[in-house]
Structure formats: C-alpha cells, structure tokens
Amino acid sequence: MSTVHIVGGGLAGLAAALALTARGRRVSLYEAGPACGGRARSYDDKQLGCRIDNGNHLLLSANDTVFRYLDAIGARDTLVGPGKPVFPFHDLADDTHWSLRLSRGRIPWWVLNRRSRVPGMTLGEMSGLVRMLKAGPDATVSQCLRPGALADRLMVPLSVSVLNTRPEAGSAALMGRVMRESMAKGGDACVPWFPAEGLSESLVDPAVALLRRRGAEIRTGCRVAALEPAQGRVGALMLPEGRRNLEPGDSVVLALPAQSVRDVAAIVLPELIVPDAFESILNLHYRADVLDRITGDLRLARFAGVIGGVTEWVFVKPGILSVTVSAANHLAERASAELAETIWREVRAVVLPYLRRNDQALLPETTPPHRLVREKRATFAATPAQEKLRPESRTRLSNLVLAGDWTATGLPATIEGAMRSGLAAAGVLCAARTGSVAFQS
C-alpha cells in the first residue's frame, strides 16, 4: 500500500492525516518538535508549576470544520463557553465594563438595544460593516469602518485578533469573509468556545490517539530537512537518520509554517512563492486562582476583551489568568519585565469588578509569577499584498501538496483555516478515487 508522508504535526497536518486515514490511506507524520499541535498545544511550565497553553484561541460555533474535527476525535465536550453569543469587554480609558449580546437570528436586533450593543455606537456606523462584507481585494479594514464607538470598541479589536494585523494594513476582504461566516449569520453562529483544560487536551492528544488507532505512524522530534526530486516528483525525504526513499505511489503533504516550507521545498519547488511578512503574538500567563470566585458575565464567558491598553483578551482558566496580544510586532523592543507589570495592572482593572470585596486580595498589586511567550512569526501578515502570495494546495509536482493556514483558504490564519487547508490537501490526493473528504469514514 502506498503511503502519504505528512511533514508537520500542527492542526493542518493533523486534519489532513485524519481525513486520509478515514479513507483508508496509510499515513506517516513527521513533527520536528517534541509534540504535535504547532501553535495550538499545551505544555508543563516548571516555573509556574502548572500546565499552560502556548497561546489562546477562541472558537466560534460557526467554525464548522473545527467542530467536525472535534466530533471525529470525540472531544467536543472538552470545550467550555457561555452557551450564548455574549462577549464581555472592559474599556480601560473610562474604566467601564459591558457586554456585547448578539441576537440569535440573522436580523441584528441587538443594535436597537442599548443593553446589548456597543456603548456609544450609532446606527449609522453599521454601514462600515456592510462595506466590509463587500470589500474588494485591495481594501483595508480602516478604509471600510466609519469612525465611532462601534469601530473603536468592537471592530478594531476584533479585526486585530482575527487577522493578527493592524486595521490600517489588514485585509478587509479577509475580515469580510470571516464576518459572512459568523456575524452575518446571526448570534447562533457566534457562540464562543475554548478548551476547558488545554489546547492539547482538546485538539491534539485525542487526534493523535485516533490516528494511532487507525495505524498511522507518528514521529515527533523528527525534522524533515529537505525534499529531494526524482523524475518530476518528490523522490525522497531527508530525515535525521538519512534519506527515506518514496515508493512510486507515495505522496507528500507539506504542512509546515510558510517560512519553513521555502527551505524544505527549495530543491523540488524553487519557484514557490509564499507569504513573506509576518506578525507576532504575545501571550502572558499569570499564576492567579480566581476561576471559582468571579461573578457576572466574566464567570459566564471566562474571557473578556480589553479596550484602550496593551492587553487585548483575558482568559480565566484554572489557576491562571492568561492574556493575548495580537499584532504584537510593535512590542518587540519593550522589556519583558515592564510588559508583565503593565499588563498585570490592566488585568487587575478588568477582573477586580467581577470579584467580591473579600476576594480581591487574590489579585495583589505586585506582579505574580508569570510566563511571557513571544511568537515572533505567529502568522502571515494578513494584508492585501500578502493575501496575493498565498498558494493553492496543489503544486506542479504530482505527489506534493501544501497545507497550512497560510495557503489560499480564503480565511486569515485561524484554526478553522488551518483545518480547511488540511482537508483541501487530502482532497487533492484522494480526488481520483473518492472525491470529497471528511475526518470520519
């Protein structure tokens, strides 16, 4: 039986592997790191004495591919969330907290309810959202939005987190695609979810276990250094122990980050063009045990958006307050200690209003033990120019396909996009025999 060799054990590679094994294909997966998961994994942090995620990822009920993946690996019930389209926010400028409460259906009744909509917004600002939905390939988010509270308090922070790119440079077409798949479908498509325990426990470990039950070979700590050509095909993989020659019917799914693909495929696809500008993400994890003490909408949602500071999102997890800052290239030169102190002050301002008076000592003024993680090239910069550099899954080599959130998925670099790319890659390899592919047989 021929083998599909999947290079990269992130969510794109895992999605491809699940789809291929569901069709009875034999799979060998190679991951350079100690564990699969890529930018969506968990690990034990000795400094904090607990398990943390390398980043924070918020899923929406509209993420159909992700939920089909979760169903296939039996992990849907590992997610938590408010069960309704509620998004708590805190504005540091005037020290106010409020919640966006979207209407369940397609008609946006929420904009007429002052207790549900963005404080200070006007109905006229909604025209900016319409422009975003219709944006052309060269438009930016800032060019579409109308100035006002809706932009400042919702759409700008939302676009930064979705695109991982500032709105003055971010692609309005990509943001519009996300909106068409979520907000435009109504609140039922926008119910937020995230892992109760950890990213690995929800998205990675159950998938790896299922793949092994299906007979897949999974090698971690195994870096593929290069692909070698042979008569218009990939003929061999260069592994740590040496060359692994491919059989005539073997195929390769290259599911690495964009910056790594160019190096690994340099010999077989020297002409390959991929995104070459990137944005970082900063994550800070503070040791703080407040999950069982918080009240109100923060207790319901377990996260809050933050306006007017460095912090963008705060997630309340068991024993941890975790912060994400997207599009963080501008913070590259700021000292880690100073950032940790600044962000902790903002976290306290966000969380304290949801704690009873006798519980507020759980958030001391001094910065608690923490871990700061900078992902310097977390995603491609989601600009109109970079969008034009994203390649399709199929390549000119008959047995080589590409996967990754940086390929031409039509979405920004999200978990949903990564998994769709894995399905697309599997679909190319299976099209001759099976047509469409899925995670389950």
Q: Helix, strand, or coil here: 98?
A: strand
Which pair of structure tokens corresponds to residue 373?
């993680």
Residue 337, classified by CB atoms within 10 Å of its CB into exposed (0-12), middle (13-18) or buried (19+), is exposed
* pLDDT, greater one: 102 or 357: 102
List the beta bridge partners of residue 317. 320
pLDDT grade for 1, boundaries at 50, 70 and 90: confident
Nearest to 197 by CA among 324, 75, 67: 75
Enumerate domains of the chain plus CATH numbers.
Answer: 3-33+221-276+381-430 (3.50.50.60), 43-81+193-198+278-380 (3.90.660), 103-189 (no CATH)
Residue 126 confidence (pLDDT): 96
Q: What is the pLDDT of residues 62-113, one digit of tens each?
A: 999 999 999 999 999 999 999 999 999 999 999 999 999 999 999 999 999 9
* H or E element at residue 231: none
pLDDT of 55 higher than 70: yes
d(CA 301, CA 299): 6
- CB count, 10 Å around CB of 44? 9
Given a cut of 90, is residue 434 above it in pLDDT? no
Counting residues of the chain whose pLDDT is more than 90, the rounded percentage is: 95
DSSP code, position 124: G
User: For 213-248, what is each residue's pLDDT tens digit?
Assistant: 999 999 999 999 999 999 999 999 999 999 999 999
Please determine, for residue 441, whether its predicted confidence score (pLDDT) is greater than 80: no
Distances (CA, A) of 260 to 32, 271, 272, 274, 287: 11, 15, 12, 10, 34
pLDDT band at 21 (very low <50, low <70, confident <90, very high): very high
Note the pLDDT tens digit of each residue in 318-330: 999 999 999 999 9
DSSP symbols for 279-319: EEEEEEEEE---TTTB-HHHHHHSEEEEESSS--EEEEETT
Average pLDDT estimate for 51-62: 93
- Give per-residue pLDDT as tens, 109-132: 999 999 999 999 999 999 999 999
Average pLDDT of the chain, as a whole number: 95
CA distances 224 to 168, 256, 378, Å, are: 38, 10, 21
Q: Provide the token pair at 361.
A: 């000592």
CA angle 428, 226, 222 (to 5 degrees): 90
Per-residue pLDDT band at 349 (split at 50, 70, 90): very high
**Sign (positive/negative) of CA torsion 343, 192, 21, 411?**
negative
Predicted confidence (pLDDT) at residue 435 exceeds the cutoff of 60: no
Instruction: Supply the pLDDT for residue 440.
Output: 86
* Amino acid identity at 108: P
CA angle, 180 then 185 then 187, to 5°: 125
pLDDT for 432: 44
